[in-house]
Amino acid sequence: MRRFTDQRDSRSDDQLWLLEHPPVFTLGQAGRLEHVRSPGDIPVLQTDRGGQVTYHGPGQLVAYLLLDLRRAGIGVKRLVHLLEESVITLLAEQGIDASTRLGAPGVYVNSAKIASIGLRVRRGCCYHGIALNVDLDLEPFQRINPCGYPGLQVTRLIDLLPHLMPDLEREKIAVQLARMVADRLGLQFAQSQQQV
């Protein structure tokens, strides 16, 4: 992501990468190790995104947005709002009432966090993005203070929609999220798949 951002020019296409990570705790630029209480066998990586500490793992949909903010004509606060709005709309289509919190970026359902946001801006372009908990194991969140908040509850889509069949629907959810983000940013959605 960083290499792409550093090498891009005014003609480079904006991209949205959708993926899942192996188990990992990541510390953002504001991250403090005191919020990683007992990582156990899960690696802890320092990243250049904004924010504190979070967990990524199988069953979590991560959407990395590589966007020229100047060309799109939007600022970081507006982008965060558009990403949150995309997840809220996706959840609303499933009958789930979600919201944001003032001063605590992300998306929440009944005060439990279901999606986290962390961005980085370089040369007027952003990278990193948003992580939506679909059916990942939530136990690792007990080993940290999620987003730097002791006791913050975390939830996942499978707990809110017990009939969800994640293995069959994860790709559908990913495409829906990508379309919603693209629509809100006024971008054309073109789907391509690559295994890394």
Instruction: Give the residue numbers marked as catalytic.
Output: 147
CB contact at 8 A, 127 and 115: no
Identity of residue 167: D
CB contact at 8 A, 137 and 121: no
Neighbours of 138 (CB within 10 A): 20
Strand order in 125-133's β-sheet? 15-19, 60-68, 125-133, 112-122, 104-109, 99-101
